[in-house]
Amino acid sequence: MRALSLLFDPRGAIDRRTFWSGLLQLAVLGLAIDLGLANLGVDPALAALPVVGDAFVIGGLAGQVYGGTAPDVALTSALLIVAARYYVVACLMLKRSRHAGQGLRPTIAFGLVNLAVHGLMGLWAWGLYGEDMAVLVPMFADMAAGALVWTIFLGWLGSRRAWNPLPGTRVFRSAQVKPAS
């Protein structure tokens, strides 16, 4: 499976090896984007990194909400980078969960838990925003909680075996996506 169809196409199913390969490709891509944006001097370079980028965006959103201003270009581009990374992870999780016989449940659970963690940490950061350096505590807590959520969900889903239904059971599986030539 080609990298573009693996990372950006939600159709199909993938095995464990392909899932871990896709996550590794995503990590390398995120690091390359981070280094490329950092060399250009762009502020939202940290948004490309998995756990750090989420905390960076939450801190930036808390600052914008506290200041009562609209998000600036740097924060908007950081939000778009994080959204693109979440889309790719959702595509990988969806394909892997289909292969493991789980359906949409792991992807939805991951998204809701991640949203709850980042939302709570963002509210905490917003509550501490006038306290100088105290706003860093929710950002580090967000990084730790986010890393824990990512590790649990991705480790659990990546270790699941292929789904083997009982004999005589009707199986509905989506076809493997073949790259166009």
> When comparing pLDDT for 6 and 91, which is higher?
91
For helices 16-40 and 136-159, angle between their N-to-C axes, nearest 10 degrees: 150
Name, in order, each residue with C-beta under 8 angstroms of 44's C-beta and a sequence gap of 6 or more: 37, 56, 74, 75, 77, 78, 81
Reply yes or no on whether the pLDDT at 129 is more than 70: no
CB 95 within 8 A of CB 19: yes
Q: What is the pLDDT of residue 181?
A: 55
Pull the structure tokens for residue 12. 């199909």
* Distance separating alpha carbons of residues 150 and 84, to the nearest angstrom: 16
* Distance separating alpha carbons of residues 162 and 75, to the nearest angstrom: 40
* Distance separating alpha carbons of residues 55 and 144, to the nearest angstrom: 10
pTM comes to: 0.76
Q: What is the mean pLDDT of residues 55-67?
A: 75
- Maximum mean pLDDT: which of 18-22, 62-66, 115-119, 135-139: 18-22
Confidence band for 14, pLDDT divided at 50, 70 and 90: confident
Reply yes or no on whether the pLDDT at 170 is more than 60: no
